[in-house]
């Protein structure tokens, strides 16, 4: 199988992967289970990561508003993570954007609901004590 050339390094030599291997090595070594990393495993992990990011971007572009704007946006990525079963595991990492004012309003409503539930529990405890 012929090697696929993705890019060139600082010296102008051809590279198989475009992600920096040193950064991937640091990320892999951050796991406590990993003691040493084989060079082949490092290159395969980098290539798999590139292919995954490429697939995510292509899917998001095709199924989002990217075609209309000829650009890929964060909203396209978050929609893909939310709607696609394949990318569902990214829903927490790529949440939908909301305005800070809406978030604060949601927090206040949640706190109000919890306060009401707490009051209801206190009243039922008082009734039991009186009985």
CA atoms within 13 A on the CB side of 23: 6
Percent of the chain scored above 70 by pLDDT? 79
Predicted confidence band of residue 2 (pLDDT cuts 50, 70, 90): very low
**What pLDDT does residue 50 have?**
95
Strands (E), the chain: 7-8, 14-15
CA distance 40 to 86: 27
Flag whether the pTM goes above 0.85: no
CA distance 28 to 45: 9
**What pLDDT does residue 123 have?**
58
Residue 49 pLDDT exceeds 90: yes
16 close to 5: Cβ distance less than 8 angstroms: yes
Q: Which residues of 4-20 are buried (b: 16+ CB within 10 A; e: fewer)?
A: eeeeeeeeeeeeebebe
Predicted confidence band of residue 3 (pLDDT cuts 50, 70, 90): very low
Kindly give the interhelix angle for 39-63 and 21-29, rounded to the nearest 10 degrees.
Answer: 100
Locate 35 and state its tokens.
């003691």
| Choice between 1 and 37, residue whose per-residue pLDDT is larger | 37
Q: Determine the average pLDDT of the residues in 22-46.
A: 91
**What pLDDT does residue 51 have?**
95
pLDDT in tens, 73-122: 888 899 899 988 999 899 888 888 888 898 899 999 998 888 888 776 65
Q: Which residues have a Cβ under 8 Å from the Cβ of 114 and sit 6 or more positions away?
A: none
The sign of the dihedral angle between the CA atoms of 72, 19, 96, 78 is positive
């Amino acid at each position: 199988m012929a090697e696929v050339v993705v890019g060139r390094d600082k010296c102008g030599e051809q590279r198989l992967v475009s992600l920096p291997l040193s950064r991937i090595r640091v990320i892999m070594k951050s796991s406590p289970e990993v003691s040493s990393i084989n060079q082949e495993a490092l290159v395969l992990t980098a290539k798999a990561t590139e292919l995954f990011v490429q697939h995510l971007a292509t899917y998001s572009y095709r199924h989002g508003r990217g075609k209309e704007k000829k650009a890929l946006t964060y909203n396209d990525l978050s929609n893909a993570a939310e709607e696609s079963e394949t990318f569902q595991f990214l829903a927490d990492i790529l949440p939908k954007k909301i305005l800070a004012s809406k978030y604060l309003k949601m927090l206040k409503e949640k706190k109000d609901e919890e306060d009401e539930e707490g009051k209801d529990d206190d009243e039922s405890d008082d009734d039991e004590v009186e009985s």
